[in-house]
Amino acid sequence: MEYEKRTQARMERAIKQVLGQQQAEHRPRQGPIGTIRRKYLISRCRYLAAQYGLEEAVAGFVYGKGCEAITGLGLCELEELEGRLSTMATRVVEACDLPDTPPAR
């Protein structure tokens, strides 16, 4: 009797372990690296928009993607927005430098 109970308990543990592994394989990965990158991109976009007066560009991009706020954007969209804002900020800085002086950076 005791042997059968131990064998059955081992089999149940093995089955639960296999089922747990299968369920874990189907879960989408929500790791801390994606979360940290996302927070950084949102922060960077907000900083660039405030620093260079690009709030309307951000609002247009966000609404164009069908979201109500910047936090509704996905990671790829945030990277695209940050790239656009960085390019705009670089152009603003270069346009404001005097032609006969070194860049004011």
**Sign of torsion, CA 93 98 103 105?**
negative
- Domain contains 88: yes
pLDDT tens by residue, 38-77: 999 999 999 999 998 999 999 999 999 998 899 888 889 9
Residue 28's pLDDT band, with cuts at 50, 70 and 90, is: very low
Mapped onto helix, strand or coil, the DSSP state of residue 4 is helix
pTM: 0.62
Both structure tokens of 67: 């979201």
Residue 100's pLDDT band, with cuts at 50, 70 and 90, is: low
Domain with 70, as residue range(s), is 32-96
- Domain contains 38: yes
Cα–Cα distance, 61 to 80 (Å, whole number): 10
Cα–Cα distance, 65 to 54 (Å, whole number): 17
- Domain contains 23: no
Residue 34, amino acid: G
